[in-house]
Amino acid sequence: MKTTLTTLAGLFSALLFLGCGAEKKMEPVPVGEMETYKDPAVGFQIQHPKGWIVNAQVGRAAFYNATDVDKKFLDPLGVGAIGVEIAITVTKTPDPVGMVTKFREDRTAEGFVLHPNQTMTVAGKPATKMGYSAAYDKKTVINGHHVFIPGDSVLYDMSFAGFKDYYNAYTAVFEASLNSFQMPKPVEKGRDETLPSETFGDRDAKMFTFQYPENFNFTDPPKGKDEIVVGLRGVRLDCNILFNVFGAQGLTLEKVVDQNKGRYKGATAGKLTVGGQPAITLTMSASKDVDRRVYFTVKNDKVVRITMDWYKPQRAEYLAAYDKVIGSIKFK
């Protein structure tokens, strides 16, 4: 069959159109590695993709896929980068169900296009999904949905949103984050709330992974010349866990401890294993009310030093939790 001039002209026109401004549809974004955020006071947990920008305060946390995306969501017609947002806000209210109804009325008045509410279950609780689209001008459109979980005098509002095609491209990421959400765990009656939690979270520290009591919060200790530094602090501010990783420079475990033991006067030495590696411990008094144990092990010419402090009158409870931390360590 001969190709006609009309057919060629049609093909040329199509190619010209594609090369002159037609927007390429975004490919779906895979979930990838996630990390957990835990609210330090309310106690809820939710996962977001590793490496995302985190803006958080007590009762509210927001996560963005790139720098300056938060500025764009704050002012859609202003400066900033387009992208996606995952956010959760916890609001105390005597009428959480009524607050959801009011939210819908307010967004409608603002010109949002709202989809019909959908009922669902999140973390074992009844929830309401409310989809929407908000056009600020012809080129600036935010698509998204809220998931509301009414609680006892409190409302959890989880928001998943993206500019234009970003919203659909991140569908799988939004779903994974929503499925990871955990409500705050009730406090065991009669138990000292300052003690390490009996529920543990997971942490990836690059060279190794470990578990930690969920009521210990991560700190930001100075890194100095160390390659890896990870700090955690308990409810009691004098109860801490600190990981330091630095070069062994060809020294054996025994030589490493010999070079460092001068810093721990009066310490009692012990032996055990950490992550399957031989380890040496030094246990001593850190202050009047606090004891300290320091663990040393060497892996791939790297020294891993773990320092743990606990409140002396509650030695048994803290050491039980700390032993779980040490037992959970796995080297990569």
How far is the C-alpha of 263 from the C-alpha of 242, rounded, in Å?
16
| Paired tokens of 197 | 């939690």
What is the tens place of the pLDDT at every residue in 184-211?
A: 877 666 678 889 988 898 999 999 999 9
Q: In what order do the strands lie in the sheet with 217-219?
A: 217-219, 228-233, 240-247, 302-311, 290-299, 277-285, 268-274
What is the domain range of residue 231? Answer: 200-331
Q: Does residue 172 lie within any of the structural domains?
A: yes
How far is the C-alpha of 239 from the C-alpha of 237, rounded, in Å?
6
Residues 39 and 153 both lie in one domain: yes
The closest alpha carbon to 29, from 87, 83, 74, belongs to 83
Q: Structural domain tally of the chain?
A: 2
Task: Provide the pLDDT confidence category of residue 42 given band limits of 50, 70 and 90.
Answer: confident
Whether the Cβ atoms of residue 298 and residue 277 lie closer than 8 Å to each other: yes
Residues 42 and 176 both lie in one domain: yes
CA 29 to chain centre: 19
How far is the C-alpha of 38 from the C-alpha of 20, rounded, in Å?
47
The closest alpha carbon to 144, from 90, 107, 91, belongs to 107
Residues 152 and 235 both lie in one domain: no
Q: Does residue 3 lie within any of the structural domains?
A: no
How far is the C-alpha of 58 from the C-alpha of 194, rounded, in Å?
19
Mean pLDDT of 144-169: 96
Residue 24 has pLDDT above 70, yes or no: no
Residue 119 has pLDDT above 90, yes or no: yes
Residue 303 has pLDDT above 50, yes or no: yes
The residue among 113, 148, 180 that closes a domain is 180
The whole-number pLDDT of residue 152 equals 85
DSSP 215-266: TPEEE----TT-SEEEEEE-SSTT-EEEEEEEE-TT--HHHHHHHHGGGSTT
The closest alpha carbon to 172, from 297, 28, 328, 318, belongs to 28
Residues 246 and 109 both lie in one domain: no
Residues 231 and 308 both lie in one domain: yes
Q: Does residue 17 lie within any of the structural domains?
A: no
The whole-number pLDDT of residue 233 equals 93
The residue among 180, 211, 240 that closes a domain is 180
Residue 21 has pLDDT above 70, yes or no: no
Q: Is pTM, for the whole model, over 0.85? A: no
Residues ≥6 apart with Cβ < 8 Å to 261: 267, 269, 282
Q: Does residue 23 lie within any of the structural domains?
A: no
Residues 128 and 232 both lie in one domain: no
Residue 6 has pLDDT above 60, yes or no: no
| Proportion of the chain above pLDDT 70, given as a percent | 91
Residue 14 has pLDDT above 70, yes or no: no
- Looking at residue 312, the DSSP 8-state letter turns out to be G
Q: Does residue 27 lie within any of the structural domains?
A: no
How far is the C-alpha of 260 from the C-alpha of 305, rounded, in Å?
10
Mean pLDDT of 57-79: 94
The closest alpha carbon to 56, from 77, 42, 66, belongs to 42
- Distance separating the N- and C-terminal Cα atoms of the chain: 63
Residue 19 has pLDDT above 50, yes or no: no
- Looking at residue 182, the DSSP 8-state letter turns out to be B
Residues 230 and 163 both lie in one domain: no
Residues 144 and 39 both lie in one domain: yes
Task: Provide the pLDDT confidence category of residue 15 given band limits of 50, 70 and 90.
Answer: very low
Q: For residue 21, is it left (φ>0), alpha (ψ between -120 and 50) or beta? A: left
Residues 38 and 150 both lie in one domain: yes
Mean pLDDT of 268-289: 96
Lowest pLDDT segment from 73-77, 212-216, 248-252, 302-306: 212-216
| Proportion of the chain above pLDDT 90, given as a percent | 78
Cβ–Cβ contacts within 10 Å for residue 2, how many? 4
Residue 1 has pLDDT above 60, yes or no: no
The residue among 152, 180, 208 that closes a domain is 180
Residues 41 and 172 both lie in one domain: yes
How far is the C-alpha of 27 from the C-alpha of 112, rounded, in Å?
26
Whether the Cβ atoms of residue 191 and residue 136 lie closer than 8 Å to each other: no
Q: Does residue 247 lie within any of the structural domains?
A: yes
Residues 57 and 91 both lie in one domain: yes
For the chain, what is the mean pLDDT?
90
CATH code, domain carrying 174: 3.40.1000.10
Residues 208 and 310 both lie in one domain: yes
Q: Nearest 5°: phi and psi at 35? A: -135, 155
The radius of gyration computed from the CA coordinates of the chain, to the nearest angstrom, equals: 26
**Considering Cα of 173, then 178, then 179, then 183, what sign does the dihedral take?**
positive
The whole-number pLDDT of residue 188 equals 63
Q: Does residue 29 lie within any of the structural domains?
A: no
Q: Does residue 111 lie within any of the structural domains?
A: yes
Whether the Cβ atoms of residue 155 and residue 93 lie closer than 8 Å to each other: yes
User: How many helices (H) and strands (E) would you count in the chain?
Assistant: 7, 20
The closest alpha carbon to 239, from 325, 323, 306, 312, belongs to 312
